[in-house]
Structure 1
Amino acid sequence: MIQVQENDFDVDALYKGLLKSNKTGAVAMFVGLVRQFSDLSKEACSFELEHYPGMTERNLKKIVDEANDRWPLLDVCVVHRVGRLTIDDQIVFVGVSASHRAEAFQACDFIMDYLKSRAAFWKKETQGSKSQWVEANTKDEASLERWSKE
């Protein structure tokens, strides 16, 4: 399942959705939260996350398809929120079920690395009266290098 939505999500329900087979031996999950992005100010932070409908889902599907090609996965669930979010809001869920934990952990990590750099999302951070669009993070790009096929 790949879902892009404004509404919050229920982690327990998404987890249970990954338990479709008696071959499931492992489920690895990642839940990303909105954190305070500036240590310099006590002002509340928020951000708006925009996407290009259709293109974003296609990018996410390519990432999930690549994970399925690399590892023998039983199921994958990616839910990413868009719209206005504030500190402590859930923003992303990635869940992977597999017969073995190594595949589940690796695939979940792989999907998150690619999601951070290749999915079509744009973020505008707001702190007090200041807003700015966030540039791509070189650290996220560097994380992709470990997944390069040789």
Structure 2
Amino acid sequence: MTNNQSQPDNRRALITIRIFIVAAVVLIASAVAAVWFSIPGPDTKHVLVSPSGMRSIEMTELCTPMGCKRVTIADEVQPDGSHLRTGCLPQRAETTPLFNKVVATWSGSEESVTIDFTPAKGPSGTMTVVLSNCILTE
């Protein structure tokens, strides 16, 4: 009887653990980037700050062939320095972008702001946002 023992295979693997980890990180990072860039940004975004700087209105709109979604958020600086952000009810129902150019005129008490807007196409218009009507919370 002969005893044939195989010799140990001391060859290095072609893929080391370091290469595997780097490839996995690159794959995950590219997947996250693909998801990030597939989410569309708003068509328009404006931040209208009051003269005192204590209040602001953030207006964004995202339009698709099915219509536009507009979001208006009122931001008020509290006495402790924190910010109270509340959503305002939708103001307009048009299906095309409206807020290409905006000009804000704040009331003396900064309780409301009148916004003159000019869309890229179509007639200009005016709307007023009363901050006390902005009652939607997260």
Q: Above 0.5 in TM-score?
A: no
TM-score class normalised by the smaller sequence: under 0.3
Higher gyration radius (CA): 2
- Higher RCO by CA contacts (8 Å cutoff, separation 6 or greater): 1
TM-score norm. by structure 2 comes to: 0.27
Structure with the higher fraction of residues in helix conformation: 1
